[in-house]
Amino acid sequence: MDWALQDRSCGTSKIVSPTLDSLEKLFQIQIQNLISKRYPDAAGMSEEEFLLYVSPLKNKLAISKRLAGPGLNFVVIIPESFVSIPKQISLLNSGIEPVANRSNSVCNDDMSGLTTPRTPYLAIDVQTKSEVQSGSPRQSLRRLQRAGRCGLTVAEGIAVVLHFPNTLSRSCFDLLGSRSMEDFPYLCRRTNGQIDLGFGDPDDADPRWVAASCYARLAA
């Protein structure tokens, strides 16, 4: 099933498409990242059971190749229905000496009205650099929607940092696909390396932060 999948035209801009072989290697690296972070255990599954859910996503790589844009070609996402957000944050921070978290809020990926797959899926053309905010989270969300893009959910932001840790080295991610009451969630990295999930006012602007987004979501 294809989520938010559209035909795409790159106009006069030429985007170099990766080879299918390179995408398959990247896919295997991301699967191994999930296994090494003990996602199967967190989902209450054996490694073999876990692979039954994530391995079929490999069949979507050809579509991912066709939709290649300037961002990360794809990111393997484990939804909140498989592993809770607090647990995913703890897996992300495993091996790091913890310090107190700034927020005890609970985030629900579906509270914003955005529907995402309930089983593992791919987020396509994930951008974490070119979508720097020019206004508040609410304004950034409207800008993304006009561009035909979706703000990332908390689960998607966690996956991006898990597979591509350097993307969160100098800024915070606003995750505009999720909501906690009226506040928008964000991810930040502390100086000790710990990843924090926090929540901010939708009308507060900080030009240093990134409104992370994707172009499409593909489920098996």
For the chain, 220 residues long, the average pLDDT of each consecutive 10-residue run is 41 61 95 97 97 97 84 93 93 72 48 75 86 66 83 93 86 79 81 84 72 90
* pLDDT at 180 (0 to 100): 64
HEC string of the chain equals CEECCCCCCCCCCCCCCCCHHHHHHHHHHHHHHHHHCCHHHHCCCCHHHHHHHHHHHHHHHHHHHHCCCCCEEEEEECCCCCCCHHHHHHHHCCCCCCCCCCCCCCCECCCCCCCCCCCCEEEEEEECCCCECCCCHHHHHHHHHHCCCEECCHHHHHHHHHHCHHHHCCCCEECCCCEECCEEEEEEECCCCCEEEEEECCCCCCCCCEECEECEEEEC
pLDDT in the model for residue 98: 57
Give pLDDT, residue 76: 98
Alpha-carbon separation of residue 62 from 53, 67, 120 (angstroms): 18, 9, 17
Angle at 186 between CA 82 and CA 106, to 5 degrees: 55
Specify the pLDDT at position 183. 78
φ, ψ of residue 32 to 5 degrees: the values are -65, -35
Distance from C-alpha of 61 to C-alpha of 218, rounded to nearest angstrom: 9
Q: Which two tokens stand for residue 129?
A: 């650099």
The answer to whether 2 and 56 have CB atoms below 8 angstroms apart is no
Q: Which of 70, 60, 94, 77 is nearest to 8 (CA)?
A: 70
What is the pLDDT, as a whole number, of residue 191?
79
CA gap 126, 51 in Å, rounded: 23
- 17-56 pLDDT, tens per residue? 789 999 999 999 999 999 999 999 999 999 999 999 999 9
Q: Which amino acid is at 104?
A: N
The tokens describing 67, both together, are 């939709």
Give the pLDDT score at 114: 67
